[in-house]
Structure 1
Amino acid sequence: MVRSYTGSDLGADALYFLPLGGTGEIGMNLNLYGHKGAWLMVDLGITFADERLPGVDVLMPDPAFIEERREDLAGLVLTHAHEDHIGAVPYIWPKLRCPVYATGFTAALLRRKLAEFGLLDEVPLTEVPLSGKFSVGPFDIELITLTHSIPEPNAVVIRTDAGSVLHTGDWKLDPDPLVGDDFDEARLKALADEDVLAMIGDSTNAMVAGEAGSEGAVRDRLRDVIGGLKQRVAVACFASNVARLETIIKVAEESGRRVCLLGRSMHRIVECARESGYLKGHQPFLSEDEIDYLPRNEVLLLCTGSQGEPRAALWRIARGDHPAVALDKGDAVVFSSRVIPGNETKIFELQNALVESGVEIIDDRNHDIHVSGHPGRDELIQMYQWVRPRIAVPVHGERRHLAAHAQIAKECQIPQQIVGQNGAMIQLAPGEARIIDQVPSGRLAYEGRRLLPVNSSVIKGRQKMVFNGAAAVTLVLDERGQLDGDPEISTAGLFEPGEEDEILTEVEAAISHAVQRLGKRERRDDSAVREAAQQALRRTVNRLLGKKPVTMVHVIRFE
């Protein structure tokens, strides 16, 4: 039985940690801290659906646990502006209606998202300075600047009467981040003097030896690559990596090229970056209409679509249906990004389409032109040596990443390591930390204009139709319950052209026979008629095609 964990049930001397998203998976981060009858949320993100959920683009954590306790939710603190940390705010905030806190760049991106949902004037968004300190209910908050693949990533120090926690967010130790402040080594080291109770930390690259690498080194490599290309160049990268955008813009200018931004998210990120004081001092960007007025060796296209997204700018160019931009034989596309697991097929299809057009592909398989934004093993070790918490709680990773992170913490002589999962209620204090409960957790899908559980009947039904096809039968019965004519059958996703007539003739006969076999009383019962027709259709199609289609039966009677 799940305890209530609300009001006085959160003991004054206890501190709880509860992940509802992002633990046991990468993406959809939602973390809760409970103390003195209040809850603090850290991050509220999304992930993107794949072909297993037809008709669904966006997934997010199910906030039901905290939605039921929203009167006790003191606020939401956002660590940085990546979609897996802020993307669910416009969808879920109306269920929570709590204050939101973020630094300038994150706030700039979030405001644009809120405006798209008509929430800009509703959400109480407080912009916090870098290294800022503030209070949210019984939680005293301090932000510590780190480095990542987006500006202004923050670790969050959460101080309570029960102890202090370092929630790292996403981070790495980049000695040359190019854009934004360096990581605050002095503040991280100073935490060791505070006897930090727990570190809740990024596990994404816990299985990767060494360090993540520096944006400064990537700039040197891209300078060599782009400087050696002779025709039109397109570069695909994550739009949120402002340091990478700055590198590409600078390298283009050094190579005598003008830059054109392609893709909505690319324009949005650049606007937010400039609004926040980044990406200053460069030449004006080309518009799409100006590209063809310049020689091909004087243009660089900075594109969305590095993960093979079908509606992104690069795929439209590869398909030849972009209204203003084309790539020809001898041009080059540089993928300055990593392949996110699960996107391999889409990316390779995109690259194959480009190669078929005679375009050269350059990526991290043949050039070292990307670095991760997450800490490798050596950086995790360094963080533990600086902070020296009593408890390590790995998050932001699949189970194998969490286990590897816990092993690193153990080797660093952190006294306790707790590997949980979404829904694991962890009591950090008082006493020895432990998992004390498992609360309901899950995923919501944004389907059309509504949020539905991923196991809802709507989504399950659509999955069945995608994999098994669908059939609708109309039966007309007279006053005696006898069929008046043959069954009318419509299908989707079952037949190749030319094979339908023969199979449907057999299906119609099976349905007619099943209905005629019913007793007189059953033929007057619509539910009995529907059941007989449905079973006959499914059995016959399964025998002939090996499929069990989703079936609908309509019964029409006349007296």
Structure 2
Amino acid sequence: MAEPAPPSPPRFEEDALYFVPLGGAGEIGMNLSLYGYRGRWLMVDLGITFGNDTTPGVEVIVPDPSFIEERRDDLLGLVITHAHEDHLGAVPYLWPFLECPVYATPFAAEFLRHKLREEGLNGDVELTEVRHGERFTLGPFDLELIATPHSIPEASHLVVRTEAGTVFHTADWKHDPEPLVGAPADEDRLRRLGDEGVLAVVGDSTNIFNKDHTGSEGEVRRSLVEVFAQQTGRIAVACFASNIARLESIALAAKACGRDVALVGRSLWRMHDTAKACGYLTEAPRFLTDEEGAYLPRDKVVYVCTGSQGEPRAALRRIAFDTHPHVTLGKGDVVIFSSRIIPGNERPVLEVQNRLASLGVSMITPREALVHVSGHPGAQDVRNLYGWIRPSVVLPVHGERMHLDEHAIEARALGIPTVLTAINGQVVRLDGAEAGVVGSVSVGRLAVDGERLIPLDSEVVRDRRRMALGGAVVVSAALDDKGRVVGDPRVAARGLLDPKEDAEDIEEILEIVRGTVAGLRPPERLRDEAVEEAIRVSVRRFFRQSQGRRPVTDVHVLRV
């Protein structure tokens, strides 16, 4: 992720149009975008990202909304472009700090209701459903959602019309001639928008390194039928739960091959229920539970599993480690990875794949067969879009810095008059001759830590990281009123020493503690803080010299 810009707040001019990303610019995920005009603010998306090995104990991370929280009286609303977690997943955590109306298509609204109920916010959030093509007004912003194919139903580009100009804020999107769920991109509608005049595009960069078009869901469906027909054992398909078109394709391909489909994973059932409530999956046969699927013959079942990214508690990992209560796989079975690996997830995915291989399970990935296509535009799709709507300004988002820069190169090659790049926290003026970065605001990340939010760079998370990498030591020593050690000190060295195997090292530490206290001047031995710091330094020195580690070290002095 790109480093956040140091804050240098601009003076927001009344009639200027501003774009301020607090998430999703310089990184993939955790999208939060703001538009400012005439003293009022519009928020677009409010998403999450996920923790990894560098954030022990933290699974969910959300953007720090402090900048807009300070201005929430001027925040007119939040518009959700689609129902992926990196675009709406933070709403249940951050809405209580914002308390603004939320606008979304019926599918995104239904999915968001599920999440709000889980967090005890059912009925608290003013949630308005908006259909594609409807225009609605929030203060100085005239808004319209335009349908686009993506890997989830009802993804929406957002048109933001103001007197300073019109901004085309893309969702995650693609130009798919055969999306299976929803209609193809409406080229005529986009050309008409271009005829109206588009000041700026704030656009998706995720797949910009693919210089061609993105493939079609229709092609994947036909390929899955062929792949399924070649299998004789159990089939498990790992895919993103939100890809309703893919879920329907798996079900129809299974039916064509005489198999039933069982869903394995809570998020799949949540998406299934959302899709059914919104009128999708009407062509698919009934899905079975994992327990029902376990009673079917090996050549009659297809399991659809969560966990394509190697997530710790997801279904596929539990199957791979043989801890799932109903689903087992073995020699002659196959797992199809109908998804791409999100950058940063390579190691957990490889771990799951190795475990599956050890069970005798074969695997098919997008390298071996057409079992996945991206939901994001390739460079040729981006070129086509810009040819249709002809913007004056292009500002890439939804990508790491290398994605933004590559997107900028493509836009400049098309002759776009102004191409800007900005990362989280930078304030961009979009209108007038002064278009460009004009300042920055504070940004950050918050960890969802149980029932609270804490800064990701807090001492709590830093201590966890240090303990995960360097271990933790606790030393307790009793001293009398003269500062002499009474009895034997106690040492616990979690992740560093085995009490049985490393008894000699533990005894050496005890001698170090005694010697450290004895070596202090009499006045120092009477000050708990001085004794604790001296012991801490000595014990850390021992581990640095013996193991090359710098453990988190706590010392407790008791007076007797």
TM-score by length of 1: 0.97
* Partner AA of 2:92 in structure 1: P
Separation (CA, whole Å) in 1 of partners of 2:294 and 2:520: 73
Cα pair 1:164 1:197 within 8 Å, conserved: yes
Pick one of 151, 173, 187 that aligns with 2:153.
151
1:103 counterpart residue number: 105
Match for 1:334: what amino acid? I
- Structure 1 counterpart of 2:18, which letter? Y
Matches within 5 A, 1:60-459: 60-459=62-461
Task: Note the C-alpha offset of 1:342.
Answer: 1.5
Is the CA contact 1:507–1:541 (under 8 Å) kept in the aligned structure 2?
A: no
Correspondence for 2:3: none
Distance 1:502 1:241 in 2: 57
**What is the identity, as a one-letter code, of the residue corresponding to 1:357?**
L
Most deviating of 543-552 and 41-50: 543-552
1:17 paired with 2:19, answer yes
Alpha-carbon distance in structure 2 between the residues aligned to 1:326 and 1:487:
50
Q: Structure 2, unaligned stretches of length 5 or more?
A: 1-5
Aligned-pair CA distance for 1:282: 3.0
- Contact persistence 2:248–2:283 (CA under 8 A): no
Following the alignment from structure 1 to structure 2, what is the Cα–Cα distance between the partners of residues 547 and 229? Answer: 50
Give the structure 2 partner of residue 33 of structure 1. Answer: 35
- Deviation sequence 1:163-201 (CA, Å, 0-9, x none): 110001110100000011222222211122222111000
Contact 1:13 1:429 in 2 (8 A): no
Residues in 1 aligned to 2:364 and 2:47: alpha-carbon distance in whole angstroms: 31
Q: 8 Å contact 1:426–1:436 — kept in the other structure?
A: yes
One-letter identity of the residue aligned with 1:355: A
User: How big is the shift at 1:399?
Assistant: 0.8
The CA deviation at 1:227 is 1.5
- Supply the distance in 1 between the matched residues of 2:14 and 2:538 (Cα, whole angstroms): 64
Whole-Å separation in 1 of the counterparts to 2:558 and 2:79: 58
AA matched with 1:417: V
Matches of 2:144 and 2:8, distance apart in 1: 30
DSSP-derived class of the 1:251 partner: helix
- The 3-state SS of whatever aligns with 2:59 is strand
State how far apart, in whole Å, the 2-side matches of 1:332 and 1:490 are: 46
CA gap of 1:206–1:288, structure 2 versus 1, over 3 A, is: closer
Residues 360-402 of structure 1: CA deviation (Å, up to 9, x unaligned): 2111121121111111110010011001111000000111111
Deviation of 1:429 (Å): 2.0
Kept in 1, the 8 Å contact 2:499–2:506? The answer is no
AA aligned opposite 1:115? R
**2:80 & 2:177 partners in 1: Cα distance?**
24
Paired residue type of 1:296: R
Give the CA deviation at 1:245: 0.5
- CA deviation digits over 1:458-508, x for unaligned, max 9? 001111111111111112111222211232111111124644211122111
The residue that corresponds to 1:487 in the other structure is 489
Distance in structure 2 (CA, Å) of the matches to 1:374 and 1:126: 27
The alignment status of 1:465 with 2:463, answered yes or no, reads no
Alignment RMSD, CA only?
1.4
Matched residue count: 555
**8 A Cα contact 1:13 1:430, kept in partner:** no
Letter in 2 for 1:490: A
Equivalent position SS for 2:193: helix
Q: How far apart are the structure 2 equivalents of 1:253 and 1:40? A: 46
* Cα displacement string for residues 184-241 of structure 1 (whole angstroms, at most 9, x for unaligned residues): 2222111222221110000111121101110001111111101121222111111111
SS of residue in 2 equivalent to 1:407: helix
AA aligned to 2:421 is V
C-alpha deviations, 1:508-542, integer Å up to 9, x for none? 11221111122221111111111111111111222
Aligned partner letter, 1:16: Y
Kept in 1: contact 2:206–2:376 (CA 8 A)? yes
C-alpha distance in structure 1 between counterparts of 2:135 and 2:8, whole Å: 33
CA contact (8 A) 2:132 2:144 kept: no
Q: Deviations over 1:402-445 (max 9, x none)?
A: 11111111111110001111001011123330111011111111
Whole-Å separation in 2 of the counterparts to 1:506 and 1:290: 59
Question: Which of 509, 512, 523 is the matching residue for 1:510?
Answer: 512
Shift of 1:547: 1.5
Unaligned runs of 5+ in 1: none
Output the CA distance in 2 between the equivalents of 1:357 and 1:166: 50
Describe the superposition over 1:319-371 as per-residue Cα deviations: whole angstroms up to 9, x where unpaired. 22211222232111111111111212211221222222222211112112111
Letter in 1 for 2:164: A
Post-superposition CA distance 1:121-168 (Å, at most 9, x none): 111110111222111221110111111111111000001111110001
Residue 524 of structure 2 is matched in structure 1 by 522
Measured in 1, the distance between the counterparts of 2:303 and 2:294 equals 12
CA distance in 2, matches of 1:507, 1:413: 69
CA positional deviation for 1:2:
5.3
Give the ranges of 4+ consecutive aligned residues of structure 1 lying more than 6 Å apart after TM superposition: none
Q: Distance in 2 between matches of 1:263 and 1:49?
A: 20
Alpha-carbon displacement from aligned partner over 1:286-307 (angstroms, at most 9, x marks no partner): 2333334432211111111111
**Distance (whole Å) between structure 1 residues aligned to residue 453 and residue 260 of structure 2:** 43
**Secondary structure of the residue that 2:487 maps to in structure 1?**
coil
How far apart, CA to CA, are the structure 2 residues paired with 1:438 and 1:375?
A: 29
Q: CA deviation at 1:314?
A: 1.6
Report the more deviating stretch, 340-349 or 100-109: 340-349
- What displacement does 1:13 show? 1.3
The Cα offsets for residues 49-94 of structure 1, whole Å up to 9 and x where unpaired, read as 1111110101121111111111111100000011110111111111
Q: Following the alignment from structure 1 to structure 2, what is the Cα–Cα distance between the partners of residues 292 and 84?
A: 33
